[in-house]
Amino acid sequence: MLGTLVAGRVSIAAAAISAAKLGLTIATRYAAKRRQFGPEGGGEVPLLTYRTVQRRLIPYIARTYALDFAIHETVREFREPIADSKAVEMRVAALKAMASRHTVDALQYARELCGGQGYMWENRLGELRADTDVFTTFEGANTVLLQLVAKGLLTELKEQFGELRIWAAVRHLTARASTAVAELNPVVTRKTDVEHLMDPEFHANALRYRE
């Protein structure tokens, strides 16, 4: 029974992200070609050059990449015969809720970015929105799934400190402190030199912080 739920939810998450990738691709290509307005005395410029567009569109694209990676990794773990069923169940519940909500929001913005073109059948955004809206409640409403995830995380925390040993608390706080030190450079100092920004270790630390 649990395996059926997990398989269904991870399939929904994967389908949702596929729709998000398609919709965002359509919107990005449109924004790169559609010219409107521009500097005084100059010609019209592509929508994609506007920072207001970039600051909304690029985070949707980045989140889509992240969720896609997470779903592929979860599918790999689900296939393993020794997979921790409880951990996989909790992760899949979270991914299904996050992916389906993200897709609804991303497709809505994609439609807005394309203006009136976004309503046209040939551009597929209306069809994608209609097909994916049900994912927020299919195989479990997102609100309920997020409550399941919260309960699982709190249970893990309770088990971690269940014996009330002082050394368990010390180890936990030490790990948190070491993580904070590792994240200090990319998060607080905000160095902008090219060598630092091209350093893979910087990107790994930033990714761990976001995770």
- Given the residues 122, 139, 159, 211, the one annotated as active site: 139
Beta bridge mates, 133: none
Active-site residue, 139 included = yes
Reduced 3-state DSSP string for the chain: CHHHHHHHHHHHHHHHHHHHHHHHHHHHHHHHHCEECCCCCCCCEEHHHCHHHHHHHHHHHHHHHHHHHHHHHHHHHHHCCCCCHHHHHHHHHHHHHHHHHHHHHHHHHHHHHCHHHHHCHHHCHHHHHHHHHHHHCCCCCHHHHHHHHHHHHHHHHHHHCCCCCHHHHHHHHHHHHHHHHHHHHHHHHCCCCHHHHCCHHHHHHHHHHHC
CB 16 within 8 A of CB 100: yes
How far apart, in whole angstroms, are the C-alpha atoms of residue 207 and residue 42?
A: 40
Q: Which residues are known to be catalytic?
A: 139
